[in-house]
Structure 1
Amino acid sequence: MESIKLSVDRSKIDPNFDGYKVSMDNIHFESKKLEQNICLRTPSNSMVTLQHMKVFSSDNQLFCNAIEGSESHEHLYRILETGHIQKMVYDKKTRQWDISIVGNIALKGNETSAFPTNLLFTNKNIVVASNGLSEISVFLAVSGSNWVNMLTHKVTENSGISLIEARIIDEKLNILVYEVENDEKNKKTRSRVHWIVVKLDDIDYAENLSIEKTTEFIQKGHFETCTFSNEGDIVFLSSEKPHVEGHEDASEVTVLDQSWSQAENIITVRFKLAIEIAQEDVKIDLTKTAIKLILKETTILNGKLGGEIDENDVEICADQKENTLILKLKALDEKKWEKLIAIENWKMESLENEEMKKMDKEEQVYGADEPMEECDEADSTLFFYWVHRESGKVISQCDVSGSQVLFVRRDCMKPANFCLRHDVDGLLWSFDGKAPSHVATLQAFGYVQASKTTRLWSGCSPNISLACIVEGNNRVLLYSQKVEISGSLSNRKTAQKVSHVSKQYLLRVDCSDPIRGVHLTETHIFAATKEHIHVAELTL
């Protein structure tokens, strides 16, 4: 399996960033009351796991068709509590709305386990909708005001699904649907991702579409999200490898028990394993002070040892009857070891990185010495996994353990962009190529977001000139990355003249209902509440 590393483009990080200047510009929202309410759902008493909370925390009930939009008009959609899909076209010049109903979905079902509704747009005028219960619907937008339902598919017998992504790849509609389920065997909650492929060959003349195949992935541990690569593979962001339902990854090794002992200068380590292994499954890398032990593709020991060893005197024995692996190391002296692994490898790398940042001032970014907030928790174990479209097996992985996911930005024409925290900044990663590439930096956005304990939504504009955070009290914070200065302006500390500054703008939606949907462009920001649509023009 290929290992991929993230390569930070230092030219896209400003080491001299001096913070956001608070703008006093008067930017306000204009509001329009709508006749019907938006469909809103909240977690029930049975939805108490972290995975349930993630679904609701990422809920955005204002949907945009970017392909349909233009410089003069923005095309937005809501799903109403009646199940009707409402289209709202905003004329940027006249500031007027044109509102109509284009379709509907069935919302009846077990509301106690319902997830929020979803609406995803693709090219070829195909739209995918989810009722948040158990069904998805595929529409053909034959005109701007008429959607034809081409397929209604029951994804699961359970209730509670959420659309992740829909893209047309190789002339087929590929849909990713997510659900949270209880693992009865292990008494834990796990994630199930449904990959649905819909044939489009006969879309021009058939009355209905048909499903070509469905594949279900089981995701144990923490699951963040996933996206399609341009090759049609699926990229998972999670703590553990996903696998196809009924096909456990044979390369995965589970250690049931591990113990070690020392007799004089002989260190003996025993591993009790869940599966049978052979001698050829074992790979070991040694130095006098460190070890990395890999069984098949699973690393079971990795780090700095509790003492020094003779790297040329190592004994490994695999007992296939007992599913046990025994490792014997010879220490250079008989001094008693306090620990087998003095410090794990990922901790060593973290400490080394911190030392490098302190020594290399040229690569140090703004605020690197600022402490992490209590609410600013990073995921201790987190990987990108590339799953092959045909075999369903993991073919590549990228370790991003310790990184915090700030937000995910989706585009119906290409893979999602992931914004990960790097020191205080937010780094935007593109998955257009074989390896992720660092395409932009949101200055100090990781540090800014860490203090927003009532945050409802985070994101950025399509051209990445604006970052945005929406808080629970209907406060909207905009962070302009670069605003050109008219006239002469100098930095007080360095006396250097500057041509641009970064600004922070504070807006507020004057409504008693909380914001439940957001859409941000370079020129406007839209917000949806229960019965209103709000818009502010951004002349920044």
Structure 2
Amino acid sequence: MASSNYTLKVNRDLLDPNFESYRLSLDPIPTYDVVLDAAVEEVTLKDCQYTLEHVRAFAMYNYLHLDPWYDDSVLFVDCKGRVLSLTVTLDTVLGKPREVFRLGTEVERREDRVCPSLSLTSATWAALSDGAGRLYLLRTSKRGDSTHGKWEPLFTEDLGEPFIVLHSVAHLQAGAHTLEVLLLRVVKDPQETAGSGYSVTLEWITVANAPGQGLEKNYEVKKRRLLRGKSVPHYAAVTPEGDGLMVASEKPFAFTHLDGQPLKQPQPAAGEPPVDLDKLDPVYFWQQTSDDITANVRLPEGVTKDAIRFRLTADTISVGVRGSASLLEGQLYASVDPEACTWILRENKSLEVSLQKRTEGPVWPELVMGDRRGEHVMSDEQAALVRERLTHLTSEDTHANPDLDKPACNSQELEDCDGYPEDTSSLVHFDGESLETTQVVNLGSHQYLFTVTADPTLMPCLCLRHDVDALLWQPRPDRPADMWEHVATFNALGYVQASKRDKKFSTCAPDFSYASLCECLRRAFIYRQPSPADGVLFNRKQGRRVGQVAKQQVAGLASDKVVLGFRATDERLFALTSANLFVLKVNNK
């Protein structure tokens, strides 16, 4: 199955070009806390867990888990191995967290143990890791009240290397109750001789009972799929029907094993050496001007004009030789005028294709979307023009000619919030059957901010920075043509969060009424959506009336201990330290 490049489509109706700033509000935020009878154990990294990926995966882990199926219900695991649940109905009478499950005493205190992790699979199921390599699938019945009993383990298995549970879903497949669980590991990799010696793996496990036997029968592993990459994913989740997987990461992931067996890679024909894709010569070369494209496609020796297969539409191109695979095929970066395009055979060695751009001016970064087999050749005239346009931005001397109207850029003057990640970040959808990518989004400068579950029946949303704003995207795997929907915007939050040097956690309310940032110690910042202004306000600079105001609030936590977990509901914020669980009343509904 061929993958296609996809561009995130911003809903302009959800943007506010006139947004000015957040106004600090001194309105108090009622804060309540529960003193824990046993500490939340923070699993610190060991000497053998020294890489940046260990830090990203485990040192910054959110120990507090929000139950998206029940309002204002949170869970966490303490140092005694107890899974504790707290549901808030009245803030002034919080009560104590209630034990719903306890990890076995046989939990191995291995040197590379990681933090216990929990995923609320459905309204009646949960997936739990003990941090030492054992997975529990628990039937919880209905949660969210104090009368509910203990959770019942219906599946438990030691899966080897320690892991954390990233995501899980439950669905019916061919009449069988099926659970999909996604696990994350950072493991030693002997092939990583030039790097840290570790790689990141995602294991996608399918557990199910026999069709028609109900929920009381034994569950067993039906399928195991392994992906490997070189960076901890920002976002990874299974589709609700268990037929696909989405991963957002700085470095690409690829499936390597199925049910413990390595996936077969395409083999060269008999007598041909293995193909090294990184050392292949370009299949075609192409140049461009402001109004046309010229591409030269290499042809096998001795090809005649009659053997050429050429097809062109306004948006697609296909070039090949009869009896062979296509040499150049796919969607063009932009539209062309088919009537004004021509091709000619050059000395039976190459095919020269001339394309007329339908829109003059814009520079194409690539000829065919996602095709990396070509090489863009820049003319001397184009290179000179680029150098001329960039002269005021580049210099061998830092801040050369500062008296000019447009002095050279000095990188030392840039703030941290002006930085962007590398252009290799991507958001990928994998097909669950073929294990191939179907759609790829190049995130580029769209820095990942956080993940939140707005609707538990759908996939978690991911929040990305677009310029200074933070845009929330809801995956829609059932709509291949529009797989990621822009559902909310937090004005200027992308710029704000980058300026918070001590920020540890970011989140937002499921109804998108506010976003919040939490520092490592004591403080949480709340950024509300614009609301009608109280009274009459005017912008002094522009002399116009201000109809809406976006408020910023700061809440302090009465604790000197590190914040280990942070979650938001429509009405409340929850912050977890090793000794306290704080509840902040943000909205009244």
1:27 is matched with which residue? 29
- Given the alignment, which residue of 275, 278, 281 partners 1:255? 278
Q: 1:9 maps to what in 2?
A: 11
Distance (Å, rounded) in 2 between the aligned partners of 1:28 and 1:291: 53
1:426-445 superposed matches below 5 A: 426-432=470-476, 433-434=479-480, 435-445=483-493
- Alignment correspondent of 2:393: none
Instruction: Show the counterpart of 2:158.
Output: 154
CA distance in 2, matches of 1:222, 1:379: 15
In the alignment, which residue of structure 2 is the partner of 1:179? 185
Q: How far is 1:154 from its partner?
A: 2.1
* Partner residue in 1 for 2:208: 199
**Aligned-pair CA distance for 1:141:** 1.2
Q: Deviations over 1:408-436 (max 9, x none)?
A: 11354211211111111111111124321
The answer to which of 92-101 and 296-305 deviates more is 296-305
> Who wins on radius of gyration, i.e. which is larger?
2
Which residue number in structure 1 is paired with residue 82 of structure 2? 84
1:490 & 1:147 partners in 2: Cα distance? 57
The residue aligned with 1:514 is: 562
Counterpart CA distance in 2 for 1:110 and 1:522 is 38
Q: Deviations over 1:227-265 (max 9, x none)?
A: 123452111213324123222665996314879xxxxxx
> How many percent of aligned residue pairs carry the same amino acid?
21
**Alpha carbons of structure 1 residues 279 and 419: separation in structure 2 relative to 1, 3 Å:** same
Instruction: Select the residue among 439, 458, 463 that pairs with 1:419.
Output: 463
Take 1:111 and 1:483, find their aligned partners in 2: how far apart are those partners?
52
Which of 217, 228, 244 pairs up with 1:233? 244
- Superposition pairs for residues 117-516 of structure 1, below 5 Å? 117-142=116-141, 144-155=148-159, 157-159=160-162, 161-170=163-172, 171-187=177-193, 188=195, 189-200=198-209, 201=211, 204=214, 206=216, 208-220=218-230, 223-230=233-240, 232-238=243-249, 239-245=251-257, 246-247=262-263, 250=266, 254-256=277-279, 280=325, 282-283=327-328, 292=366, 299-301=372-374, 303=376, 305-307=378-380, 373=416, 376-410=419-453, 412-432=456-476, 433-434=479-480, 435-516=483-564
- Corresponding position of 1:527: 575
TM-score by length of 2: 0.71
Going from structure 1 to structure 2, the CA distance change for 1:287 and 1:7 (only over 3 Å counts) comes to farther
Query: What TM-score comes out, normalization by structure 1 length?
Result: 0.77
Q: What do you get for the CA RMSD once the two structures are aligned?
A: 3.5
Conserved? CA contact 2:238–2:245, under 8 Å: yes
Change (3 A) 1:18 1:441: same
Q: Deviations over 1:117-172 (max 9, x none)?
A: 211112250011111221110111146222111111222x223x111111123342
Number of positions where the alignment pairs a residue of Structure 1 with one of Structure 2:
466
Structure 1 residue 505: Cα displacement:
0.5
Unmatched 5+ residue regions in structure 2? 143-147, 268-274, 283-295, 299-322, 333-352, 356-362, 391-412
Structure 1 CA distance for aligned equivalents of residues 418 and 78 of structure 2: 34
What amino acid maps onto 2:465 in structure 1? R
- Give the counterpart letter for 1:47 in structure 2: Q
Q: Over residues 173-204 of structure 1, what are the superposed CA-to-partner deviations in whole Å (9 max), with x where a residue is unaligned?
A: 11110111232124243221111111155674
**Who is 2:287 aligned against?**
none
Distance of 1:293 and 1:5 partners within structure 2:
16
Q: Is the CA contact (8 Å cut-off) linking 2:44 and 2:59 kept in structure 1?
A: no
Please name the residue that 1:101 is paired with: 99
Cα distance between partner residues in 1 of 2:37 and 2:171: 38
Higher strand content, 1 or 2: 1
Q: Deviation string for 1:449-502 (max 9, x for gaps)?
A: 111122110010011111110011221000011233333223323333333210
Residues 5, 370 of structure 2: 8 Å contact kept: no
* CA–CA separation in structure 2 for the residues paired with 1:447 and 1:55: 24
Preserved contact between residue 219 and residue 243 of structure 1 (Cα < 8 Å): no
**Contact 1:407-1:419 at 8 Å conserved across structures:** yes
Q: Is the 8 A contact 1:380 1:403 kept in 2?
A: no
